[in-house]
Amino acid sequence: MPILEVKQLTKIFGQDARKGLTLLQQGWSKEKIAREAKLTVGVNQADFHIKEGEIFVIMGLSGSGKSTLVRLLNRLIDPTAGQILFRGQDIVKMNAEELRQFRRKNIGMVFQKFGLFPHRTVLGNAEYGLEVQGVDKKKRRELAQQALELVGLGGWENHRPDQLSGGMQQRVGLARGLANDPDILLMDEAFSALDPLIRKDMQQELLELQSRVKKTIIFITHDLDEALRIGDRIALMKDGVIVQIGTPEEILIQPANKYVERFVEDVDLSKVLTAAHVMKQPEMIRPERGPRVALQLMRDSGVSSLYVADKEMKLLGVITADDAAWALKEQKTISDVLRTEIPSASPDTLLNELFELMAESPLPVAVVDERERLKGIVIKGAVLSALAGNAVPEGGDI
């Protein structure tokens, strides 16, 4: 079950917002509704789900509805229509007490401008959310302390925010969002006020933190690079509408319309796409099958070499047609003639790194996981095709 399921979620600002709902259903644009009905469409019939443990990025230009959407998710604002199911339970229908419990246990938020209180200490800031929720002093100190350790600020408890760098201040904000150990962390433009270099560091740290604490993170940004770097999936918004949801690769390679296309046109694909995206299924054989079967397989599938892997799919090497024919004649085994010097890379190797590997060897690059199991192979043509912005057909011949 997804941790969050959002159905037809709509927020219209202004008097008589429900009238706007009818207009939306009649297909009126945000602009027309603003002009003729004097209502502002914040979010327009958003449908999506969020998986447990993923980093879901909401991206879009200023005014596209990102903050409105994320504030609806913890009901800092109430929707005009729609459902928000947290593990199946509709947040929109919760009464005040249920909502209080939900915010206390399940959700945390980090804001753009850090939202720190200058006269409180780092610890005082980190425990603020818990204090509002009425957690007793001893307990909230303990939890805030743990959260500060988690973001690498152990030892800074008694400093004041202005004694900290921008990156460290943002970490205090992050600790505050994490202090109640929430299932979902909402981050609205959390890194946007940081210098570019510090910002990159924070993105990296967030990914590391995420792999340790396994939170579900909903991260808002208007920065495409940031979205591509940290998002498992990205939702792109325009005028309150989610125009596309997909993995970074899907957004880049299969933009849903001209708007998305324009959004992503300047991206350097070689720095975003990975081996996993362009690899195809290799023709394979187990060593004990012998050179005769190897030759037959090559003939049947029209290739001149086979990847040799054991029962656990661990990559052993490559056998060519010439070597197989020679082995057959000399009564040798596959293992005797195996070529083990083959270029290999992990699934998340970027295409620009793959280029270097490919330049050094005529063989395709073998893609292996951390246990050296063969996941696929990458052929030069596939890389070039992907960089030209073409979708790579699954298992397609290049």
Ligand X SMILES: Nc1ncnc2c1ncn2[C@@H]1O[C@H](COP(=O)(O)OP(=O)(O)OP(=O)(O)O)[C@@H](O)[C@H]1O
Kindly list the residues in this chain that would bind ligand X in the complex (CB under 6 A). Answer: 13, 40, 42, 60, 62-68, 222
CA 45/CA 257 separation, integer angstroms: 18
Nearer to ligand X, 60 or 255 (CB): 60
Is the C-alpha dihedral spanning 178, 180, 183, 184 positive or negative? negative
Each residue 48-87 as x (binds Mg ion by CB under 5 A) or -, in order, gives -------------------x--------------------
317 binds, among Mg ion, ligand X, none (CB under 5 to 8 A by kind): none
Report the distance separating Cα 272 and Cα 269, nearest Å: 5
Residue 65 interacts with which of Mg ion, ligand X, none, CB < 5 to 8 Å by class = ligand X
Pick the closer one to ligand X by CB: 151 or 235: 235
Binding mask 12-51 for Mg ion (x = CB under 5 A): ----------------------------------------
Residue 222 binds which entry of Mg ion, ligand X, none, CB below 5-8 Å type-dependent = ligand X
Q: What is the DSSP string of 305-333?
A: EEEEE-TT-BEEEEEEHHHHHHHHHTT--
Q: Kindly state the smallest distance separating residue 189's Cβ from Mg ion, in Å.
A: 6
* Identity of the residue, 218 or 316, whose beta carbon is nearer to Mg ion in the bound complex: 218
Contact 247, 233 (CB under 8 A): yes
Residues 6+ away with beta carbon under 8 Å from 202: 167, 170, 171, 191, 194
Q: What's phi and psi for 165, nearest 5 deg?
A: -70, 170
Q: How far is the CB of 160 from ligand X (least distance, A)?
A: 28
In the complex, least distance from residue 193 CB atom to ligand X, rounded to whole angstroms = 12
Which residues make Cβ contacts (< 8 Å) with residue 47, sequence separation at least 6?
6, 7, 8, 9, 242
Interior CA angle at 251 toward 21 and 357, to 5°?
Answer: 170
CB of 217 to ligand X, least distance (A): 17
The residue (of 192 and 270) whose beta carbon lies closer to Mg ion is 192
In the complex, minimum distance from the CB of residue 66 to Mg ion, in angstroms, rounded to a whole number: 5
| 60 binds, options Mg ion, ligand X, none, Cβ within 5 to 8 A by partner type | ligand X
Strand ranges, E, within 341-398:
344-345, 365-368, 374-378
Residue 61 Cβ vs ligand X, minimum distance, rounded to whole Å? 7
> Distance of alpha carbon 178 from its chain centroid, rounded?
19
Output the smallest distance, CB 118 to ligand X, in A: 23
Element (DSSP H or E) covering residue 220:
strand 216-221
- Give the residue closest to Mg ion by C-beta: 67
Where along the sequence are the contacts to Mg ion (CB under 5 A)? 67
